[in-house]
Amino acid sequence: MARKMWMRGTIAAVSAAAMLALGACSSEPASEESGGSESAEGSGGDELISIGFSQVGAESGWRAANTQSIQDTLTEENGFDLSFSDAQQKQENQIQALRSYIQQGVDVLAFSPVVETGWDAVLEEAKSAGIPVILTDRAVDSEDDTLYESFIGSDFVLEGEMAGEWAVEQYDGEGYKMVELQGTTGSAPAIDRKEGFGTAISGSDIEVIDSQTGNFTRTEGKQVMEGFLQKYDDIDLVFAHNDDMGLGAIEAIEAAGMTPGEDIKIITIDAVKDGMQALADGKINYIVECNPLLGPDLAEIAQKVVAGEEVEKRIVVEDLAFDQEAAVEALPDRQY
Ligand code: GYE
């Protein structure tokens, strides 16, 4: 009876037809309000859309897949001249990158904000320069939603809820003690997944005995889990805000002589290849997906914004969820 896999959220996948249209649109001129830059010329003489993208970092398998999707989609062939930078999980690096793209006068700015707060000043600079901004993956918590055109990404509260609902379905009534490995402090996915999970388990007898950040990385996830295992000898369940921290926790649990997935159950979010493999191997118990393939949506929205067309302010990306059996079935066709 347990639901193996289900879909929720609005579907925002880009069809093959839309991708074709994307190529066809690439000869459209940049809009007047685009900052006045002359876009680079493609081989066929078409005007490319120059886009400056500031990535969070390279902290996880999810991020690697996200970067690849963006770089594979925003190509000259598809009508883009992409400038890409990696902020190494530091907000100051992102702000610096955005400022330099503004100075270069790109047609479009896009970024995945490492944390939620502190963006208003640089977003206002972009606005005064007439450069439209597209947020991907993570949100900013700005009062003024005219500072960006569109936000493309998953519903992280829903992801946390889906994970928490499954935990309750499986483990309520067992008096489970749980530890939480949080994502980067102040980031939208860490804040929202914690909230969603907390809401879903409230009223159950799952008790959260500790919660610390592992910064979305495998190394820090392992370190934090080692600390938890030294401090507590009665941990039943780990909720990790991403696969990589869950994979780090697996290493710590195994090093402590226990069996992950059995002695200590593990729930994570992302469903990247390594996570799905660990789930299929029985070391993780459940994963809620977070789809990282945002390149096609970003390309489509950038095209529209430059052409002066209306775009949706919020595009919610579809997410699935997998138990161990579903992971075995899904693994052969996984794209990331
Ligand atoms: O879950 C995590 C990554 O912002 C959704 O960031 C993204 C999160 C993802 O480091 O693995």
pLDDT, one tens digit per residue, over 95-116 is 999 999 999 999 999 999 999 9
The pLDDT value recorded for residue 22 is 40
Q: How large a percentage of the chain has pLDDT more than 90? A: 85
Question: How confident is the model at residue 24, as a pLDDT?
Answer: 36
- Class assignment of domain 2-154+292-319? alpha beta
Q: Is the pLDDT of residue 40 over 90?
A: no
Residue whose CA is closest, atom 8 of ligand 1? Answer: 189
Taking CA atoms, 235 is separated from 193, 208, 226, 258, in Å, by 20, 10, 12, 11
Comparing 38-52, 115-129, 228-242, the range with the smallest average pLDDT is 38-52
Instruction: Report the nearest atom of ligand 1 relative to the CA of 272.
Output: 11
Boundaries of every domain in the chain: 2-154+292-319, 156-289
Among 181, 197, 216, residue to substitute to test ligand 1 (most atoms within 8 Å of Cβ) = 216
Å from CA of 61 to ligand 1 middle: 9
Range scoring the smallest mean pLDDT among 34-43, 60-69, 169-178: 34-43
| Distance in Å, CA 162 to ligand 1 centroid | 16
The answer, yes or no, to whether residue 94 has pLDDT greater than 60, is yes
62 CA → ligand 1 middle, Å: 6
Which residue type is seen at 250? Answer: I
Does residue 87 carry a pLDDT above 80? yes
- Distance of CA 173 from the midpoint of ligand 1 (Å): 31
pLDDT score of 36 more than 80: no
Which residue of 114, 290, 294 sits with most ligand 1 atoms within 8 Å of its CB, as the best mutation to test the pocket?
Answer: 290
Domain pair 2-154+292-319 / 156-289, same fold: yes
Flag whether pLDDT at 4 surpasses 50: no
Span from the CA of 34 to the centroid of ligand 1 (angstroms): 30
Q: Which residues line the pocket of ligand 1, CB cutoff 6 A? A: 59-60, 62-63, 137-138, 189, 216, 242, 244, 269-270, 290
The second-level CATH assignment, the architecture, of 156-289 is 3-Layer(aba) Sandwich (3.40)
